Structure 1
């Protein structure tokens, strides 16, 4: 199927993890296939593969195609001339055979996915942003652990996530610190202002991303909206240095993990896409980015 508006590769990955759970692929390698992945940019594919470990997998991969070859051609360390031609002959064979046998095949409809957000203390505790937090009895086992997670987050079964006040926003990490993530964030905040009570940490994944942010005029958009760009690195993904979320505070984060204390002792992390993070940053609460993007195009 096709992804709906404002549904990003991060949402696709969080959706899959929510369906398979954080142990659903333990010990296995995952190959992602289908038109949703073929239509993704290389950056988007990297985001999905990066999150494979969050459902227990040893890793994730997407078969190379012309988009892959165009992306790497001319980059540092890439073969040139006849060496490129030889490499291409081999690289074009790197896909699973039509009759390949997998341990398990799972099919999802991309059109059923909406912007995602987590409500608990592992990446599998995620839901569509317009849904309500599941009732414990509707789950398969682990009720006590589930309720303990909600207690840590100070959420209740059946709660809506929309409208919940947030305190911090973190854009970055190896999951969402790429240039297209900053483009998406800027798309939402352009012409708006950061909510006064929100602390936002925008951290490029590399110096190359930082350079692109400046060259493309994204930095100006961010600064006009009241945001600052920080030095490239891991930052609040794992509470390095002083980049820690205070105990009891809520952070909408584009990173990959929301375990207890992951972003600081007592911190409460809501994993989401750059679009959801941007919407939260300017409204100060969990907000469906589609609402802001509709206003933008109205």
Structure 2
């Protein structure tokens, strides 16, 4: 009998939700950088193992909102709890719990089953520290169990599917068995361009950029896709930094993104990137709607 398990991955920014999603799916569905708040929308990774289909929802990091975009991201993470069979809440291997994390733990008390995941165990040097961390999380009294793993090197990741399986509901698979995400190719391309911008630009700019794909056309006469992308920023000075001296930074972003796009699409890509200014778009409800940031 077929069944589906819907799983939300929640946790603070940079705790490894996207890395774990990609690791479990075996494909890059969520962009990953060292910068917090890389994930902005809910991203779905799909894994079908025989009769069981696992639908993993990678959500934005839970943090104190500083603008309307942040508020939408935090609401998206919280709203995801209502849509799933089980929640995986990821924790750092050490350090204090944040106010946002404690709020999420309280929300899980009312939301249904949850499993805690201590990620980045490859960074811990002794077993006692891990056991102490697990004990602290167990004391919340909301998690069915506490797992320890490393999304980076794969330690403990293979066990997750067997642990999630009992939470599934009998019924048809909601996605094709060979699907690995519900994101359209256009959105995946936009995310790859934003990932490269996050990797190469200085800290103050990346969260002020949004990326949209304006055109995506396959050439009928050759194995080539022409893609035109617009990168929106909030300041004239930011536009200069994204383009760089003699256009060097924009070329670097476009070149790295093009290589990933070609791997994703399995064909040659002609990628054109343009930079435009939309002042304070992160605090403008209409701009957020236009740029595709859905209200949860």
Is the shorter-chain TM-score for this pair beyond 0.5, marking a shared fold? no
Name the structure where strand makes up a greater proportion of residues.
2
